[in-house]
Amino acid sequence: MSTATYTVTGMTCGHCVSSVKQEVGSIDGVTGVDVELASGKVTVTSDSPLDDAAFRAAIDEAGYEVA
């Protein structure tokens, strides 16, 4: 199991959190997504090391940016 933490900017509400969880959760191998709205921290657990490009693409698709 692998864990990665990123900071995502632009999230302002619960809907933002849901969008990020949905997009990141759809990445192959992701087993969990925890989003902390106040700090913008997104912690992802996965079966194997998370593909950074896939994570960034998912955040972009959700409409936010990786800091």
Each residue's pLDDT tens digit, 12-32 = 999 999 999 999 999 999 999
d(CA 45, CA 22): 14
Mean pLDDT of the chain: 97
pTM value is 0.94
Query: Percentage of the chain surpassing pLDDT 90?
Result: 100
List the CATH number of the domain containing 46.
3.30.70.100
Full residue range of the structural domain in which residue 45 is found: 2-66
Angle, helices 14-25 vs 52-62, to 10°: value is 140
> What is the structure's pLDDT at 67?
94
| Total of domains in the chain | 1
